[in-house]
């Protein structure tokens, strides 16, 4: 991937409904940035399904130079089962120098979860990206995506992450790109990227059929088994 | 203690026998919720308790009966409760906590018909529930009694087993044993040389916590799998270590039996009468009776079964003892015949008739 | 374990079936015998046929429940129908002669079936409330499992507190006991 | 100069800082309780019971004997202890789910029986540890993960008014109050009176503490205080609902 034109600090929050791929996108983004030699902090702000995502990957990500703000399961009693306790340092994550990537999960409150982060409201450079997979029943059509994104309180761009797991083919990704593009037009938002699994990446260029930048996704989360 | 002086022959119901046994064992408090057929345990206890400065609390349900019993035990008192049927279902939640935290509770179960409310009369359908209830590994002790004398003996013993090994302990009887009247001998355990295992408080020990002693921080929740595994490994190891010390069983005529009858609880009485009657006639029949259903006398049953041509499992349930027997005989090639009467009593005549069809080749 | 005498008594709630069993077993205890008594109790609400299963023996008793009794007594129409299942070839089946509409329901396989005018005798000669004691007398007359003396002692033990207030009751109960005993003797069963 | 915030003596210093979320009210309630235990000098007599949910995180919070129980079952365990050993001072500490939903029968019956125990129930209007679902105390219109469009009382019913209920079913020796983490001194006074009531064996004692849950409310500091101070106290009036009648002699 060619280095895209990156701002001084990349401040991005990934939001999306259950199994949209928001965490996968956030993890890949953090690692890509770290591999460019940038200082990156990855923040677990998924308060609905927290322990199922970043916690188990923490050591691996840290090996690759990413600072991870997430509880270790062992730190909290009761969290094998549940676990929705905000780690105090998460509140001040935007004060970390360098890039900050937030996995903000999903839920009734959408991006309002950013209220828990000091300075989020004032921070001009923070972008919230909604990750969309048209294979998910609640974001399958243009009107559904529009409704969904509007319910999230604050979104600055969409990411087409349409996939069918192992069965994904290019046609499906293309179909997703089109639907997401149309939804974005109605919402007045940019499509920030189309994400594809690394197996399909060789068939694509830097941009997809509609000119959206392509991001290559390596799968890390199957390893995430609390 | 001096609740009972000398040995006293008495005729009473099984529920009454349990109340006397708990009293004689030095039980200090009972917690309970009404359910037939165990009600009279509470009724007798509440009449006897004040005379001997013992306590009682009637709770709002069996969840509460179980959890208050845990509370009583935590302060170092011999505490117990009694239940049946749907009440036993609710009782499994607190007993699962007792199992997790090694709290020596004692529960008397008078089995009634199931599933659901079914009958208030009788069954042996709470074997699986009592042995393996709760979301755990069944780390508990279950004594299956067959007479009033045993109800008395094993209720006393249950307190000692519980407090010695710190596993929740059950006395598993049934509606027949609860309600019928027959003779037994009441006694003071100390006078018979049965030493009552001393109790110990889990909370409220002397001294200032954090200064004179560490505070008791008791929990049943763990952070990670490995932490739980470590606790369970230790508990399971201690359970298995205990097993040979407490396993009890009874057997008769097991050498070269054409049929070995396996039965527990009150059904064992019918089985024993039937087997002895046919053995008197010169037929090759024997019986094996597990008294501890948890832990199960596995080696002893396997040895007896190895000498038999065929097994016959008799129970007032549709295969609950049978399942345990099969599990414990795993790998042995032995036909098992069954006489399964879920929720219904089994008479000696029925067992005799069934045995004859096999032994005398009258099978259809 | 020796052979026990197996007795089943069935009737409607309020006919005093269970108290007969209690007094009978008390008498057995006073006589130094072993007994096993199990009430057949319905679900918590009332209304079922009340049955008392009693076994009396010189030795410890085996199983609590028996299929067929040596003597089976039915005191109501429902009881007659309910107790058929407890009748076998060795059973003496006794029912109250006043029960109507049960001719087709009487057991066919019993050793002997007999009607005794217990209710009538109690009503006419004594008092309806001692009907159950009269039945007990009949049971003792047929089985001889306990002596009349021990039966009286047991009655005294169980009902003595009532007799203190009303001594006439004692005589009434003892008479009923003896009347029942005689009744079966007169019928040649004893 | 290094200024350390003063920690109650009865707290377990080894487990501090505690694990509650930033802005969570539990820490304040347990601080009030810790100070009361210190002031009353009862540290060696207290048995503290905690429920499942966020209250679970208090299982090693104090240097007092502590039992972590099952969801909703803290009340009966504490009742069992008190009944068997009345010289213990027992505190059942739970959330609104534990006290008003899955364990409500225990609360109702312990209150009715006039068990001499103290229940401290934390009302933060949500099931917090499981991820912000509707609780018995979620207010009409309030958004949670299981009422994504706000609590519709026609569908999901009304919030539980716990202290009002407990006040109605208890005897005259009972103590019932509703405090708030936003009024720390009052809350501490209520907890103290509740424990004194148990010490005097006058009757059941119950304190509901309105508490904050910014994590699940998704509120910043300002909005958090606004929520507890305004919205919650409108629904849940503060004050003592029942003060024991102290008999002469």
Report ipTM for this prediction. Answer: 0.85
Q: Say how far apart CA D113 and CA C42 lie, in whole Å.
A: 32
Taking CA atoms, what residue in A is nearest to B228? Answer: A80
For Cα atoms C45, C51, C55, give the angle at the middle one, nearest 5 degrees. 140
What are the extents of the domains in chain B?
Answer: 8-192, 250-359
Residue D141 distance to chain A (closest CA, Å): 13
Domain boundary assignment for chain C: 5-186
CB B287 within 8 A of CB B338: no
Domain assignment present for D124: yes
Helix, strand, coil abundance in chain A, percent, nearest 5: 35, 20, 45
State how beta strands B181-186 and B8-13 pair.
Answer: antiparallel
Task: Tell whether C35 is within 8 A of chain B (Cβ).
Answer: yes
**Short-list B59, A77, C5, B3, CA closest to D56:** A77
**Tens digit of pLDDT for each residue in D82-137?**
999 999 999 999 999 999 999 999 999 999 999 999 999 999 999 988 888 999 99
Return d(Cα B261, Cα B249) in angstroms, integer.
13
> CA A194 to CA A213: how far, in whole Å?
6
The answer, yes or no, to whether residue D229 has pLDDT greater than 90, is yes
Q: What is the pLDDT of residues D24-64, one digit of tens each?
A: 999 999 999 999 999 999 999 999 999 998 999 899 999 99
CATH classification at residue D150: 3.40.50.970
Q: Do D22 and A86 count as a contact with CB atoms less than 8 A apart?
A: yes
With H, G, I as helix, E, B as strand and everything else as coil, classify residue B135: coil
Count of domains for chain D: 1
The tokens describing D166, both together, are 């407990």
Interface of B with C in 264-293 (CB under 8 A): 266, 269-270, 272-273, 276
Percentage of chain B exceeding pLDDT 90: 93
| Nearest residue, CB atoms, B218 vs list D68, D78, D80 | D68
Contact criterion met (CB < 8 Å) for A108 and D214: no
In a domain, D14, yes or no: no
Query: Between residues 6 and 65 of chain B, which touch chain D (CB distance below 8 Å)?
Result: 28-29, 31, 55, 57, 59-61, 63-64
Nearest CA in chain A to B227: A74
pLDDT of residue D212 exceeding 60: yes
Domains of chain A: 11-223 (3.40.50.300)
Q: Would D201 be classed as within a structural domain?
A: yes
Q: What is the spatial distance between Cα B197 and Cα A211, in angstroms, rounded to a whole number?
A: 81
Domain B8-192, CATH class in plain words = alpha beta
Tens-place pLDDT, residues A17-59: 877 889 889 999 999 999 999 999 999 887 766 555 666 688 8
Residue C44 has pLDDT above 60, yes or no: no
Q: What average pLDDT is seen over chain B?
A: 95
Lowest mean pLDDT among A75-84, A165-174, B20-29, B342-351: A75-84
Which partners does chain A have (≥3 C-beta pairs < 8 Å)? B, D
For B239-277, what is each residue's pLDDT tens digit? 999 999 999 999 999 998 999 999 999 999 999 999 999
Interface contact B183-C38, CB threshold 8 A = no
Which pTM was predicted?
A: 0.89
Whether residue C36 and residue B181 make contact (CB cut-off 8 A), yes or no, is yes
Is pLDDT of B3 > 70? yes
Q: Is A83 within 8 Å of D129 when comparing Cβ atoms? A: yes
Nearest CA in chain B to D80: B68
Write out the residue range of the structural domain in which residue D140 sits: 22-242
Q: CB-CB: which of C38, C60, C67 is closest to B350? A: C67
Q: How far apart are CA A63 and CA B54, in angstroms?
A: 63
Confidence of residue A187 (pLDDT cuts 50, 70, 90): very high
Beta strands in chain D (DSSP E): 46-50, 65-68, 89-95, 118-123, 126-127, 133-134, 175-180, 205-210, 239-242
Chains that touch C (3 or more CB pairs under 8 A): B
Which CATH number applies to C5-186?
3.40.920.10
B94: nearest CA in chain D?
D70
Report, at the CATH architecture level, how domain B250-359 is classified. Answer: 3-Layer(aba) Sandwich (3.40)
Looking at the complex, does the CB of residue D66 fall below 8 Å from at least one CB of chain A?
no
Angle between helical axes of C168-186 and C148-165 (0-180°, round to 10)? 150
Quick one: pLDDT at residue C48?
A: 76
Residue B296 token pair: 């199960």
Nearest residue on chain B to A76, alpha-carbon basis: B223
């Amino acid at each position: 991937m060619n280095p895209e034109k990156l701002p001084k600090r990349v401040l991005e929050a990934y939001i999306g409904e259950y199994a949209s791929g928001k965490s996968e996108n956030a993890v890949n983004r953090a690692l890509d940035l770290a591999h460019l030699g940038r200082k990156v902090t990855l923040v677990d702000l998924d308060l609905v399904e927290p322990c199922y995502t970043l916690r188990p990957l923490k050591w691996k990500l840290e090996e690759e130079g990413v600072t991870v703000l997430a509880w270790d399961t062992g730190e909290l009693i009761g969290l094998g089962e549940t676990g929705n306790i905000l780690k105090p340092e998460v509140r001040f994550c935007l004060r970390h120098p360098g890039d900050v990537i937030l996995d903000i999960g999903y839920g009734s409150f959408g991006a309002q979860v950013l209220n828990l982060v000091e300075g989020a409201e004032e921070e001009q450079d923070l972008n919230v990206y909604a990750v969309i997979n048209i294979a998910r029943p609640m974001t399958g059509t243009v009107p559904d995506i529009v409704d969904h994104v509007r319910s999230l309180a604050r979104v600055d761009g969409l990411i087409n992450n349409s996939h069918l797991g192992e069965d994904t083919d290019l046609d499906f990704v293309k179909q997703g790109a089109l639907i997401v593009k149309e939804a974005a037009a109605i919402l007045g938002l940019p499509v920030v990227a189309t994400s594809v699994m690394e197996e399909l990446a060789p068939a694509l260029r830097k941009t997809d059929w509609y000119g959206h930048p392509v991001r290559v996704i390596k799968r890390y989360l199957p390893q995430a088994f609390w | 203690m001096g609740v009972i002086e000398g040995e006293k022959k008495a005729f009473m119901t099984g529920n009454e026998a349990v109340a006397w046994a708990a009293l004689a064992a030095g039980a200090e408090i009972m917690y309970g919720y009404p359910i037939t057929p165990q009600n009279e345990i509470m009724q007798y206890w509440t009449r006897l308790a004040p005379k001997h400065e013992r306590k009682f609390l009637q709770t709002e349900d069996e969840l509460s009966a179980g959890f208050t019993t845990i509370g009583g035990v935590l302060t170092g008192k011999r505490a117990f409760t009694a239940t049946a049927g749907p009440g036993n279902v609710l009782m499994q939640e607190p007993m699962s906590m007792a199992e997790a935290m090694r709290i020596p509770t004692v529960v008397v179960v008078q089995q009634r018909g199931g599933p659901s409310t079914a009958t208030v009369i009788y069954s042996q359908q709470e074997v699986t529930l009592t042995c393996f209830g709760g979301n755990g590994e069944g780390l508990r002790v279950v004594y299956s009694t067959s007479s009033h004398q045993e109800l008395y003996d094993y209720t006393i013993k249950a307190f000692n087993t519980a407090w010695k090994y710190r596993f929740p302990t059950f006395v598993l009887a049934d509606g027949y044993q609860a309600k019928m009247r027959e003779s037994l001998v009441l006694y003071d355990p100390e006078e018979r040389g049965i030493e009552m295992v001393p109790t110990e408080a889990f909370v409220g020990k002397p001294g200032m916590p954090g200064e004179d002693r560490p505070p008791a921080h008791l929990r049943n929740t763990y952070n990670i799998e490995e932490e739980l595994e470590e606790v369970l490994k230790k508990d399971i190891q201690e359970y298995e270590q205990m097993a040979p010390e407490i396993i009890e069983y009874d057997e008769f005529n097991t050498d070269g039996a054409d049929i070995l009858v396996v039965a527990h609880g009150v059904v064992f009485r019918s089985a024993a009468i039937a087997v002895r009657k046919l053995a008197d006639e010169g037929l090759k029949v024997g019986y094996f009776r597990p008294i501890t259903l948890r832990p199960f006398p596995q080696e002893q049953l396997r040895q007896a079964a190895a000498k038999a041509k065929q097994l016959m499992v008799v129970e007032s349930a549709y295969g609950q003892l049978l399942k345990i027997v099969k599990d414990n005989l795993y790998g042995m090639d032995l036909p098992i015949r069954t006489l399964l009467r879920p929720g219904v009593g089994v008479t000696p005549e029925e067992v005799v008739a069934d045995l004859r069809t096999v032994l005398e080749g009258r099978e259809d | 374990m020796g052979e026990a005498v197996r007795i089943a008594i069935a009737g409607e709630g309020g006919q005093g079936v269970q108290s007969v069993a209690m007094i009978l077993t008390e008498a057995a205890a006073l006589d130094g015998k072993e007994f096993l008594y199990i009430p057949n109790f319905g679900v918590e609400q009332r209304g079922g046929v009340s049955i008392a299963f009693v076994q009396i023996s010189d030795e410890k008793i085996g199983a609590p429940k028996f299929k067929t009794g040596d003597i089976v007594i039915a005191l109501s129409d429902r009881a007659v129908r309910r107790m058929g299942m407890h009748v076998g070839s060795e059973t003496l089946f006794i029912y109250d002669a006043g029960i109507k509409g049960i001719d087709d329901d009487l057991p066919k396989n019993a050793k002997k079936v007999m009607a005794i005018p217990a209710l009538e005798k109690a009503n006419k000669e004594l008092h309806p409330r001692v009907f159950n004691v009269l039945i007990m007398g009949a049971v003792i007359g047929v089985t001889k499992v306990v002596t009349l003396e021990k039966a009286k002692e047991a009655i005294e033990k169980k009902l003595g507190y009532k007799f203190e207030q009303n001594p006439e009751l004692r005589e009434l109960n003892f008479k009923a006991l003896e009347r029942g005993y005689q009744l079966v003797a007169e019928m040649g069963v004893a | 100069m290094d200024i350390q915030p003063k920690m109650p003596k009865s707290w377990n210093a080894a487990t501090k800082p505690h694990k509650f979320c930033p802005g969570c009210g539990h820490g304040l309630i347990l601080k009030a309780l810790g100070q009361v235990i210190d002031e009353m000098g009862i540290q060696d007599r207290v048995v503290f019971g905690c429920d499942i949910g966020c209250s679970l995180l208090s299982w090693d919070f104090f240097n007092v004997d502590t039992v972590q129980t099952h969801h909703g079952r803290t009340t009966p365990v504490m009742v069992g202890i008190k009944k068997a050993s009345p010289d213990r001072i027992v505190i059942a500490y739970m959330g609104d789910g534990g006290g008003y939903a899955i364990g409500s029968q225990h609360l109702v019956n312990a209150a009715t029986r006039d068990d001499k125990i103290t229940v401290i129930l934390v009302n933060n209007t949500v099931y917090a540890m499981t991820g912000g679902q509707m609780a018995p105390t979620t207010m009409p219109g309030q958004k949670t993960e299981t009422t994504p469009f706000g609590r519709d009382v026609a569908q999901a019913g009304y919030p539980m008014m716990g202290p009002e209920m407990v006040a109605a079913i208890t005897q005259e020796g009972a103590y019932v109050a509703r405090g708030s983490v936003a009024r720390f001194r009052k809350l501490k006074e209520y907890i103290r009176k509740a424990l004194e009531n148990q010490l005097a064996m006058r009757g059941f004692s119950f304190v509901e503490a309105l508490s904050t849950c910014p994590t699940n409310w998704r509120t910043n500091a300002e909005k958090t205080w606004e929520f507890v101070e305004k919205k919650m106290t409108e629904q849940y009036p503060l004050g003592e609902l029942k003060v024991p009648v102290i008999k002469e002699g």
